[in-house]
């Protein structure tokens, strides 16, 4: 049943009206157990949810909503490998990439064998490149899901990245990016990884062509040694002239693909064992999502909180604040994950929805954000739930830095909640501003894997309740078609049929 037609939705609407004056300070004063009942330990991730605008009654109603919209059966259908991405008639099985070898029978046994049959040579190749001292620079050319995940992960795990090799990520069709990277490279020391699920994406193909030209112009000859393709379209890669290929399958969505061959730069950076640990951490979260009861299931609790905020309290965005500089690409990664998955205006049957879906995601690492936009979070007119992410143990030994960092994270969450109500005018903080606090013991391949799988599944949960298809992305197509048309007009100068603004811009540029 569509979520807004369920009894739980009606009950939540009434509950939201009834709790209009909800105040975090009062809630903590009234319930000594609040910090405990509204927290959750999941594999590698502890979550303090208690500074959110919910209480146990809200959560119980949200879980009811999940039941009435069939969340559990939808989740189970994904884990059975059913074609839940029905607009593309595809299964959604990125989780299978993290499943231990031989651990599934029935219809999933064969794809799981394929997964491990592909993973093993990919990891062997990663180890070969790690041992190859001549390769000092690895350049990943890809965009969207073929860029953001590996880039985020290589940066996040920089402490365990192999010394002596540099990793570059080129995504934009803007030639300034590729030219800037190429400037510092030598053909004989460079490995280009052309990462594209479809092997048709204009940006990636344009960059790949220019990289190949540059390689040849530098005197490079051995393309098989210096270029590898990571793709589901091995035939297109071969046609392009790349014979070293690592494949994956159409049941892996681009934004869910860092666990596949798209993760090769990560595997080269952190090694085969590191990559296996990343997969194992994510698998631990998959199991938690599949088996924990709804009330103790962290992806479910987070995803339902997202629904509560979006649809019942009308908070339209969520800010991400990783208090760890190595997680600085995480907000960009999560933007694609959430907004490309859940930025949909129709339900699974194509009917327009009368309620909101994906929030806007944004953010920067702490404490930097504090000195930039946190002003708005504390005293602006909109309420923006904030998601803090912090790591207990640092990997450096600079005295006091980490204590200061973590103290700031806790203090910001506290300031948002407590406010400063005894001061007037410009110095008044209303407080009662919501936040979630995610805490990892250490930032390792395994904990990063768990954190990312947690985010994937929370996006699944809200998307499932909203009744949308979180696994297609038709919204990116129109711009691609129009760009082709405008590109052709750039050469010809023909503006017939164009709107006056686009025609004017084109003429100015020409
Ligand atoms: O890996 P590909 O096929 O080059 O696609 C890159 C990205 O482009 C998109 O299709 C959007 O245009 C994303 O979903 C995807 O991650």
In percent, how much of the chain has pLDDT > 70?
A: 100
Q: Determine the Cα–Cα distance for residues 112 and 99; give it in Å rounded to an integer.
A: 8
Q: How far, in Å, are 173, 475, 482, 495, 499 from residue 502 at the CA level?
A: 20, 20, 11, 8, 6
Q: Write out pLDDT tens, residues 67-116.
A: 999 999 999 999 999 999 999 999 999 999 999 999 999 999 999 999 99
Other CB atoms closer than 10 Å to residue 172's CB: what's the count?
13
Any atom of ligand 1 within 6 Å of the Cβ of 473: yes
- Taking CA atoms only, the protein residue closest to ligand 1 atom 10 is 254
CA nearest neighbour of 187 among 164, 217, 229 = 217
Number of residues in the chain: 510
DSSP symbol at 316? -
What is the pLDDT confidence band of residue 137, given thresholds at 50, 70 and 90? very high
Helix (H, G, I), strand (E, B) or coil at 7: helix
194 close to 182: Cβ distance less than 8 angstroms: no
CA nearest neighbour of 445 among 285, 326, 277, 318 = 277
In percent, how much of the chain has pLDDT > 90?
A: 99
The DSSP code sequence of 49-61 is: -TTSS--HHHHHH
- Rounded to the nearest angstrom, the gap between the alpha carbon of residue 156 and the centroid of all alpha carbons in its chain is 13
What is the pLDDT confidence band of residue 476, given thresholds at 50, 70 and 90? very high
Given ligand 1 and candidates 88, 94, 142, 145, which is best to mutate, with the most ligand atoms within 8 Å of its CB?
A: 145
What is the pLDDT confidence band of residue 31, given thresholds at 50, 70 and 90? very high
Any atom of ligand 1 within 6 Å of the Cβ of 143: yes
Given ligand 1 and candidates 197, 253, 339, 474, which is best to mutate, with the most ligand atoms within 8 Å of its CB?
A: 197
Q: Which atom of ligand 1 is nearest to the CA of 254?
A: 16
Any atom of ligand 1 within 6 Å of the Cβ of 201: yes
Q: Which atom of ligand 1 is nearest to the CA of 203?
A: 4
Q: What angle do CA 130, 136, 139 make, to 5 degrees?
A: 95
- State the catalytic residues: 340, 371, 480
Q: Write out pLDDT tens, residues 393-411.
A: 999 999 999 999 999 999 9
Q: Say how many Å lie between the CA of residue 150 and the centre of ligand 1.
A: 14
Q: Say how many Å lie between the CA of residue 172 and the centre of ligand 1.
A: 12
Which token pair is 28?
């903590």
Q: How far, in Å, are 156, 325, 435, 459 from residue 334 at the CA level?
A: 14, 16, 17, 10
- Taking CA atoms only, the protein residue closest to ligand 1 atom 9 is 144
What is the pLDDT confidence band of residue 261, given thresholds at 50, 70 and 90? very high
pLDDT computed for residue 223 by the predictor: 97
Any atom of ligand 1 within 6 Å of the Cβ of 476: yes
Q: Determine the Cα–Cα distance for residues 307 and 303; give it in Å rounded to an integer.
A: 7
Helices (H), 241-394: 264-291, 298-307, 330-335, 341-342, 374-379
Domain ranges of the chain: 94-271, 477-509
pLDDT computed for residue 156 by the predictor: 98
Q: Write out pLDDT tens, residues 155-168.
A: 999 999 999 999 99
- Taking CA atoms only, the protein residue closest to ligand 1 atom 16 is 145
- Taking CA atoms only, the protein residue closest to ligand 1 atom 7 is 144
Q: Say how many Å lie between the CA of residue 434 and the centre of ligand 1.
A: 34
Q: Determine the Cα–Cα distance for residues 87 and 213; give it in Å rounded to an integer.
A: 38
Q: Tokens 């007037």 sit at which residue?
A: 424
94-271: CATH, from 3.40.50.10490, 3.40.1110.10, 3.40.50.2300, 3.40.50.1450:
3.40.50.10490
Q: Say how many Å lie between the CA of residue 441 and the centre of ligand 1.
A: 33
For residues 439-456, one letter each, b for 16 or more C-beta atoms within 10 angstroms of the residue's C-beta and e for the rest, the string is bbeebbbbbbbbbbbbbb
Q: How far, in Å, are 21, 59, 294, 323 from residue 56 at the CA level?
A: 16, 5, 13, 28
Q: Write out pLDDT tens, residues 266-320.
A: 999 999 999 999 999 999 999 999 999 999 999 999 999 999 999 999 999 999 9
Given ligand 1 and candidates 201, 229, 340, 475, which is best to mutate, with the most ligand atoms within 8 Å of its CB?
A: 201
436 close to 51: Cβ distance less than 8 angstroms: yes
Q: Write out pLDDT tens, residues 191-245.
A: 999 999 999 999 999 999 999 999 999 999 999 999 999 999 999 999 999 999 9
pLDDT computed for residue 432 by the predictor: 98
Q: What is the mean pLDDT of the chain?
A: 97
pLDDT computed for residue 8 by the predictor: 98
Q: Say how many Å lie between the CA of residue 334 and the centre of ligand 1.
A: 15
What is the pLDDT confidence band of residue 483, given thresholds at 50, 70 and 90? very high
pLDDT computed for residue 474 by the predictor: 96
**Beta-strand relationship, 45-48 and 435-440:** antiparallel
Q: Say how many Å lie between the CA of residue 56 and the centre of ligand 1.
A: 40
Any atom of ligand 1 within 6 Å of the Cβ of 197: yes
Q: How far, in Å, are 1, 366, 385 from residue 373 at the CA level?
A: 40, 11, 14
pLDDT computed for residue 220 by the predictor: 97
Q: How far, in Å, are 154, 166, 266, 444, 507 from residue 161 at the CA level?
A: 7, 9, 9, 11, 48
- Neighbour order of strands in the sheet with 435-440: 39-42, 45-48, 435-440, 386-391, 317-323, 360-363
Q: Write out pLDDT tens, residues 319-352.
A: 999 999 999 999 999 999 999 999 999 999 999 9
């Amino acid at each position: 049943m569509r979520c807004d037609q369920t009894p739980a939705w009606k009950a939540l609407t009434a509950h939201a009206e009834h709790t209009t004056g909800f105040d975090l300070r009062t809630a903590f004063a009234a319930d000594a157990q609040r910090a405990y009942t509204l927290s959750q330990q999941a594999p590698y991730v502890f979550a303090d949810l208690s500074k959110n605008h919910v209480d146990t009654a809200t959560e119980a109603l949200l879980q009811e909503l999940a039941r009435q919209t069939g969340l559990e059966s939808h989740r189970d259908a994904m884990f059975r490998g059913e074609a839940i991405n029905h607009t593309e008639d595809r299964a959604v099985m990125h989780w299978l990439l993290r499943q231990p070898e031989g651990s599934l029978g029935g219809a999933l046994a064969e794809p799981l064998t394929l997964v491990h049959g592909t993973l093993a040579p990919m990891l062997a190749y990663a180890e070969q490149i790690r041992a190859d001292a001549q390769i000092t620079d690895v350049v990943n050319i890809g965009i969207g899901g073929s860029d953001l995940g590996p880039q985020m992960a290589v940066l996040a795990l920089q402490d365990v990245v192999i010394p002596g090799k540099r990793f570059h990520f080129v995504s934009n069709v803007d030639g300034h990016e590729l030219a800037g990277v190429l400037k510092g490279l030598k053909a004989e020391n460079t490995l280009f990884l052309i990462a594209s699920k479809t092997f048709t994406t204009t940006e990636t193909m344009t960059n790949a062509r220019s990289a190949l030209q540059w390689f040849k112009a530098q005197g490079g000859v051995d393309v098989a040694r210096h270029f590898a393709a990571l793709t589901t379209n091995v035939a297109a890669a071969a046609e392009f002239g790349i014979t070293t290929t690592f494949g994956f399958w159409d049941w892996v969505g681009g934004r869910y693909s860092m666990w596949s061959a798209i993760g090769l730069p990560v595997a080269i950076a952190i090694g085969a064992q590191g990559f296996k640990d990343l997969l194992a951490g994510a698998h631990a979260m998959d199991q938690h999502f599949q088996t924990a009861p709804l009330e103790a299931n962290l992806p479910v609790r987070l995803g339902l909180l997202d629904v509560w905020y979006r649809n019942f309290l009308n908070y339209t965005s969520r800010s991400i604040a990783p208090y760890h500089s190595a997680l600085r690409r995480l907000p960009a990664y999560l933007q694609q994950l959430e907004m490309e998955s859940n930025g949909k205006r129709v339900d699974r049957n194509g009917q327009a929805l009368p309620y909101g879906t994906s929030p806007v995601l944004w953010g920067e690492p702490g404490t930097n954000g504090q000195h930039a936009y946190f002003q708005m979070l504390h005293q602006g007119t909109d309420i923006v739930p904030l998601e803090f992410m912090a790591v207990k143990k640092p990997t450096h030994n600079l005295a006091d830095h980490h204590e200061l960092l973590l103290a700031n994270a806790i203090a910001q969450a506290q300031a948002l909640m407590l406010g400063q109500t005894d001061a007037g005018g410009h110095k008044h903080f209303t407080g009662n501003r919501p936040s979630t606090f995610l805490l990892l013991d250490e930032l390792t391949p395994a904990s990063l894997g768990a954190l990312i799988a947690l985010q994937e599944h929370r996006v699944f949960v809200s998307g499932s309740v909203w009744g949308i298809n979180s696994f297609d992305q038709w919204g990116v197509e129109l711009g691609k078609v129009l760009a082709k048309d405008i590109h052709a007009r750039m050469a010809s100068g023909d503006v017939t049929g164009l709107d006056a603004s686009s025609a004017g811009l084109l003429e100015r540029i020409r």
